[in-house]
Structure formats: C-alpha cells, structure tokens
Amino acid sequence: MSDTLATVATPSAPPAPSSPPAPATAPAQASPASGQHVTPGTPEWAALSAEQRHAALRGPENPRARGHSPARDQREAAASRAAGEGAPGEVPSADQQTPPAAGEKFKVGDYEIDAETLGEMMRRQAVDDQRRLTLPPSPEAYEAKLPADLKLPGGVEYKFDVNDPTMKAAQAMAHAKGWSQQDFSDALAIYASHHAAQEAALAERSRAEVARAGVTAPQRVDAVGRFITAEMGEADAKQIRALIVTDSMLRYHERMMQKISSQNTASFSQSHRVAPDPSGIPGYEGMSFEQRRYAQDQNAARRR
C-alpha cells in the first residue's frame, strides 16, 4: 500500500445562490416634439411606441376629416372641463353675454343698427301687424257711413248711394291703400261736409233773393212756372224752373212771358187815327177793341 494516502476530497460547500441580475432599466422613450418628423429606421424611430409610430405616419389631423359629431364634441368638452380647461370655441350663453353699450351698433346681415333703433322698428312692426288684422277684408266690406260725432253745416243729413260707381271706386281705393273703416269714414265726412256747405250757401242765397223779390215772390215764381210748363211741357219746364233762383232771373222770365203773350198784337194808340163812323157799324159802342177792329175790317171790305 502506498504511503500516499488517498485523500478523500471533502466536498466543498455549495456556492451561495447568486441573486438574479437586476434588469437593465429601459431607456425612456422620448416622444417626438410636436411637428418634428421622425424618419423610419432611425434610432429615434426605434425608440417610439407603436401608438407614436402610427401618429407619426398619420401626420397632423385634417380638420375637414373630423366631420360633425355632437357626441364627440360633448366628450371632448367634458374632458377639457375635467382638466380645468374651457371647451374650445365655447360661447357664453345669452344670459351671460354682456349687453351692448348704449348707442353701440351691431351687424345684422349687411346692415348695422343699434339696440334702440331696432326696438323702435319692432314696436312699429307690431303696431302695423295688429292694425292689419282689423282692416276690412274686401272693398265691399267698407261701410258708407259718416262718423257718429259729425255735424254737417246747416244741420242737414247726408246719405250716400252704395250703388253709385263713385262709391265703388272709393271702396276699392280704400282697400288698396290699406285704410281702416275709420279712415274711410273720415274721407266720406270731408266729401259730405263740402256738399252740405254748398247746399247751405245756396239756401242762404235763395232766402236773400226771395227777400229782395218781395213778399209776392212765391206767387210770381208760381205764375212764371205755370207759363213755362204750358209753353215747354213738364219734362223741359222742370229744368228751366230750377234756374229761377234769383230776383233778376225771376224778372227776366216775367219779361219774356209778357213779350210772348203780346206777340203779333199791336199796342193801341188814339194818335193819328180817324174817328170811326158809328152809323155804319151797329152796336159799336158796346164792342170791345178786338170786336171794333173786326167790324171795321168787315165794313171796309164791303166798301171795296
């Protein structure tokens, strides 16, 4: 046996388990600056996340591609308010808007106007609309009546003929111009007052002429009227009698009546006449002038 003792190798203690290596910290992925273009394949491109790469490939958002989406706008506005920001493009409500200063004009379409003028225009429009609702609906709906408080000259009462073409034309004009019934009655009052004043003036002048002609003027007018009727007939005499309204006109007709009555009759005169022979004409003294002339003519004819 060899002196060399075989040494039994004492097993060495197992090595302590080593702690796993700490993972290397991944470098922070820097997002590309806004508006900065990142070229694919570069280290900067490799550092981007998938979402960032998609965003870089899409490019900036096209406002026209958003479309109109009230639901999306509400979500974005809610997110902005939650982040403490105002909604983009948010317009304050009408209650929160500051009223314009006095005299300040604002634009309405192609026009500029201030609040006071606009208010006056709206009030006038409201009055016009209300008035239009009270107008007669057709020309025939306008009534030919005078105002209740109208007093005509001379205290006369004036009435209109609704079938007169002039009245029809007046109704059509009133409807075309948008007159109310009161406007139409006021126009009729002017017309009636004018005619009543003329009639009152004629009546007053007639009374003055009658007084000038004397107390027998009515009898004289009646006598002349009967004579004209006998000469011309009732149809024509009516218009002639209507002209006898003055004292001078009455005297003219009386003179014409006398001339017509004495036409073809010579006036009697004793001058340069030979006294008739009474013995030749029986009953000469008791004859009238016409009978004497007739008897004289007969006597002269017998002598020839």
Residues 218-240 pLDDT 10s: 888 899 999 999 988 998 999 89
Confidence at residue 57, expressed as pLDDT on a 0 to 100 scale: 80
Domains: count for the chain: 2
Note whether 194 and 251 are same-domain residues. Answer: no
Note whether 196 and 247 are same-domain residues. Answer: no
Q: Please report whether residue 250 resides in a domain.
A: yes
* Confidence band, pLDDT 50/70/90 cuts, at residue 286: confident
If one counts every other C-beta atom within 10 angstroms of the C-beta of residue 146, the result is: 19
Confidence at residue 10, expressed as pLDDT on a 0 to 100 scale: 43
Compare 35 and 37 and report the one with higher pLDDT: 37
Q: Please report whether residue 302 resides in a domain.
A: no
Note whether 117 and 200 are same-domain residues. Answer: yes
Q: Please report whether residue 81 resides in a domain.
A: no
Residues 147-162 pLDDT 10s: 988 988 878 888 899 8
| Residue range(s) defining the domain that contains residue 223 | 214-262
Q: Is 60 exceeded by the pLDDT of residue 7?
A: no
Note whether 138 and 199 are same-domain residues. Answer: yes
Q: Please report whether residue 270 resides in a domain.
A: no
Q: Please report whether residue 237 resides in a domain.
A: yes
Note whether 188 and 125 are same-domain residues. Answer: yes
* Confidence band, pLDDT 50/70/90 cuts, at residue 265: low
Residues 73-115 pLDDT 10s: 778 888 877 776 554 555 555 555 565 566 678 777 888 888 8
